[in-house]
Amino acid sequence: MRFVLTLLIGLFAATAGFAQTAEPQNVWIEDGFAQDALSADWKTVSGTWTVEGDRVRVTGGGENMAMLNGHYLMNSKPYVLETTLSKLGGGVIFNAENAGALNNSHVVKVVDGGVTVGYMDYLGAFIETRTVMIQDLTAPVKVRVFTNPRDKSFSVLINDRNVVLEELRFNSGFCGLYSVSSGVSFEDYRISGDGAMDIPAYFMKSNRRQLDNLSYMSGKEDGLLIVNPVVGIVQRITSVGTYVSEISIEEKTALRGVDADEKYTYVVDAESNSLRVFNTNNKVEKTIASDLEDPRDVAVDDARIYVLDKKGIAVFDKNLALIKRYAGGLFRDPRGITVSGDRVVVADFGNGQVQVLNKSDLSVDLVIKDDLVNPSGVCIDAENGDIYVADPAAVAVFHYDREGGFIERIDPITIRGFISPRDVFLLNDMIYVADFDRILGFRKGVLTLRPSLRID
């Protein structure tokens, strides 16, 4: 829904409570563009960005010209992002999921007549959430964004006037500069906060849930296993979200899929092209570092371990010896795998489908395409063989019967819908959805438009 608000001078007094206006104590990131060229910290997404006389200027076509700073802003502390525009048509982008793309990020645009606020969705389309009309707005314009991850909100100040209070949809990520017009220049770029800036690689692990960019989830006994790829940990929580324990890996990682059996927890690490196996004390028992290429996810049953990677599926026995590779060239950018009964199911992200394979030889038994765009996570109901699929591009979870027949679309209406559902898992009578930085729980067999559990 789009909101339009016309601001007169007298109205600014009424909006004084919109923003957190306490000035932060420390500068975390700063660039005055005094050097001859952009520093290596900047990643150009689109447009041509050049340093010209203590400013950075962007030229090019299109409506989404941006560059992002390579420092990840965590959701552990509030921060303030600020810049000064020399021309209307520029703005800022913040909390982007990736340093080289605009997908899943917040955007503030300062245009002729006012400010437009919105976000880029999973597919990179701009979704406008609010427009604020400001009379006699002229350049230069100072833009400041106050974020508050704890309250899941952010405020926008234009020339020191509070104009917008908005929901913080994405509460961590990369920040940078944005423009819809060629020729816009920016005088400065600064991010400030209280205390020291928390860096993912050195972030202190603690006994609290950390759900940054939650893309993979599984179960262990009567609880859940969740992966935090930003910090490099796997955490175990109860079915209602209480912290139990965690597995942390100190070196650089790219953690993805996770699964467990009675003895071990299996974690995929794409950084080292490996499968790490942890015992009940959360210590590494063994690492498989061969026969894998860009691994994505892992699933286990009573006898075997199935590792989904770029090339297909590598099947290992419980002694971690490779049995055979299957399904070579069958998938395009596969993301998720699950196994139950006589079936192995793969979320074939790039082909926009789910492939159901026979466990005996991993031949294709069924292909599901209805309503899917880019499926990411899958699970099977062991009781009846129903298949659940998380699709972030469709912003929904789909429920199919054993034969691939469509049953329902799960898309909550009570909390502004999903943010970016990446994985789905069934435990007892609950359907758990990994929704970017939270977990939503739905009860099976009841109206699945209304979540009965939310874990942040």
Under 8 Å between Cβ of 151 and 48: no
Domain end call among 198, 220, 250:
198
160 plus 268 within the same structural domain: no
277 plus 388 within the same structural domain: yes
316 plus 433 within the same structural domain: yes
249 plus 215 within the same structural domain: yes
Given this model, what pLDDT does residue 191 score? 97
Look up the CATH number of the domain holding residue 193. Answer: 2.60.120.560
Q: What tokens were used for 373?
A: 């765009």
Domain end call among 198, 225, 247:
198
Given this model, what pLDDT does residue 203 score? 66
Q: How many domains in the chain? A: 2
245 plus 176 within the same structural domain: no
- Separation of alpha carbons 168 and 120, rounded Å: 13
149 plus 230 within the same structural domain: no
- Please report the DSSP string for 206-241 in residue order: -SS---TTB--EEEETTEEEEEETTTTEEEEEETT-
139 plus 208 within the same structural domain: no
Domain end call among 198, 223, 249:
198
Given this model, what pLDDT does residue 9 score? 30
95 plus 67 within the same structural domain: yes
- Indicate if the alpha-carbon torsion angle 125, 104, 60, 179 is positive or negative: positive
91 plus 229 within the same structural domain: no
Look up the CATH number of the domain holding residue 222. Answer: 2.120.10.30
Given this model, what pLDDT does residue 11 score? 33
- Separation of alpha carbons 400 and 368, rounded Å: 9
* Residue 267: count of CB within 10 angstroms of its CB: 28
- Indicate if the alpha-carbon torsion angle 204, 208, 211, 217 is positive or negative: positive
Output the tens digit of pLDDT for each of the chain's 456 residues: 333 333 333 333 333 333 455 677 799 999 999 988 999 999 999 999 999 989 999 998 777 899 999 999 999 899 999 999 999 999 999 999 999 999 999 999 999 999 999 999 999 999 999 999 998 899 899 999 999 998 899 999 999 899 999 999 999 999 999 999 999 999 999 999 999 998 887 765 667 788 888 999 999 989 999 999 888 889 999 999 999 998 888 788 889 999 999 999 999 999 999 999 999 888 888 998 888 999 999 999 999 999 999 999 999 999 999 999 999 999 999 999 999 999 999 999 999 999 999 999 999 999 999 999 999 999 999 999 999 999 999 999 999 999 999 999 998 976 678 999 999 999 999 999 999 999 999 998 766 778 888 888
Given this model, what pLDDT does residue 248 score? 80
189 plus 205 within the same structural domain: no
215 plus 101 within the same structural domain: no
Beta strands at 453-455 and 173-179: parallel, antiparallel or unpaired: unpaired
Please state the length of the chain.
456
- Please report the DSSP string for 280-345 in residue order: TTS-EEEEE-SS-SS--EEEE-SSEEEEEETTEEEEEETT--EEEEE-TT--SS--EEEEETTEEE
SS3 state of residue 252: coil
218 plus 175 within the same structural domain: no
Given this model, what pLDDT does residue 452 score? 83
Under 8 Å between Cβ of 85 and 136: no
* pTM score, whole prediction: 0.90
Given this model, what pLDDT does residue 63 score? 79
Q: Which domain holds residue 238?
A: 201-455
